[in-house]
A and B are shown apart, each in its own frame.
Chain A
Amino acid sequence: MTISNQSHRLWMYENMVKSRAFEDAIKPAYFEGKTPRFNMANGPIPGEMHLSDGQEPCAVGVCAHLHEGDTVTATHRPHHAAIAKGVDLDRMAAEIFGREAGLSGGRGGHMHLFDASVNFACSGIIAQGMGPALGAAMAAKLRGSDNVAVAYIGEGAANQGAFHEVMNLASVWRAPLIVVIEDNGYGVSVSKASCTAVARNADRAAAYAMPGIHVAGNDPDAIYEAAGEAIARARRGEGPSLIEIETSRLEGHFMGDQEGYRPEGEKDRLKAIDPIPRYRERLLADGFDTAELDACEKRAQQAVDAAFVFARGSALPDQASAFTSVFTERSAA
């Protein structure tokens, strides 16, 4: 590859940096009103907060291949995937702050981000996005489009019934679905090793007669390559694939998690292999210049800063809006 045909790598870098900058901006905002005593209900961002620091390669390596018409369903840890799918950053931030200008006017919050303009949704129940992603994939197939759907799940979700039901259905229907397992090693506090019968969830794909690809190293380029193949296959009508990515969760399950379940020194070891500085080094080694990468970082930071200004400047929703959007009105036929 020459540098000139590697613009996707800059895109991946910029979106990883944007996601990290977004999470870095969430952290102090989240703890406003929650110190010295941590009460989840307090501050401008109440409720649980699941950060995706460390998992950015999973988002960009896959989403670099997607168009607006493709669907992504993500998990309770959705920010990196939302950003890589092109969800409106301003309205996403406003939603996380529970504001009127949020994606859904503050009805959903950080675990329920919907942006219909780019076909992105996420939800708070493990493996729950599998079914809707399959449905979006089937809608595309039945209508003869070459759009695909990606279901992001964590490695814990591979032990859920919904995962297995949808894996089988997707294969039976030859659906253009790509299931991406972000294996960060932990379901909340329980390690994958202690609760999963197989060492590699990619092996489970064989039970559903679909390709299962394992990607080690939390490496955006390797993920990009594996996803490219799976997505092209789906677009050609050749059916679903499973991609398992070894990644790392640099923070706790949720903000405020004391993480006493981690082995001594694990977090330091993970931070030492943070994928973002590593990727910057690789890009420099491959001939990208510092100014280019600096410009990516600057643009990313500016977008995040603007989103937080937008969110904090947005009004709180009118109380009456709690009662709207429960049902959708029927338009005149």
Chain B
Amino acid sequence: MAEALRALLRRGLPAAPDAVTPALLDLRGVAARAADPADEASRRAALDGLLRSTLARFPDVKHSRSVRALFGMAPAEPGWNLTRRRDAAAAACGMEVNHFRKRIEPRLVEVVAASLVADDEAFTRTSAIAPRLTAATARQRIPAEPFAWEVAEHEAALTAVWAAIYALRAELLTIERLLSLGAGRSEVVPHAVDAAWAWGRTRRAALDFTDGWDTGLDPHALVALAGWAPALAAPEADRLTQAAAAASDRTAFLTAVRSDIALSDAWIEPFFHTTNTDID
């Protein structure tokens, strides 16, 4: 990253096409800011904004004017060559220019590079990781503005999906434990029904979440996070999902699926017959 920045430094800002390397244009923070991520010019504009905002917020106050000048922001001006920008940068922190070039400039470039890497990390999509929870120390107030409402609504939807995934996981673990204990069919089947109901609700929640939000996630992959479950053909999966989502309680769910012999067989039998080899 520092090497890519040094290449860009030769021309300074605004970022010129021949001074920008893929290492910079491929940063997730750059792609996320670009109006059209597929367009290189758009990514370059996004990189320009990212660098300017990074330099404007440079944490080392003593060298903030210097680093900005070095990259071509005020007190330097667009079009200045590197020698002139370096002179201005050294002057901004009261240093002799050779000392600045050898000792200070590499460190400043490293700090900017580290900021870009941190920004890149912040733009990693982590929606497939359950939200971390900690003990509340205060009531969570949502600021009265649309952005905050949208973020809160997104977190509520994400949390609901994870609640469903963990509930399904609990049911699947119970079945596996019973089978491991050598429990009889009559003991396992009621739990398989519970798991079917949970699976259907989880799939519904995952479909709603991925339909309604731009997550880039596959709903089937989300459901699969709960653990192994029988593989259903699409029509059966849809029938199970519909029955589970419509049922207000377990009895209603059971009533809805009781007569669907094909679905019952497809869901229940694999628990008794599938081996690890089948799964692999």
Partners in one complex: no
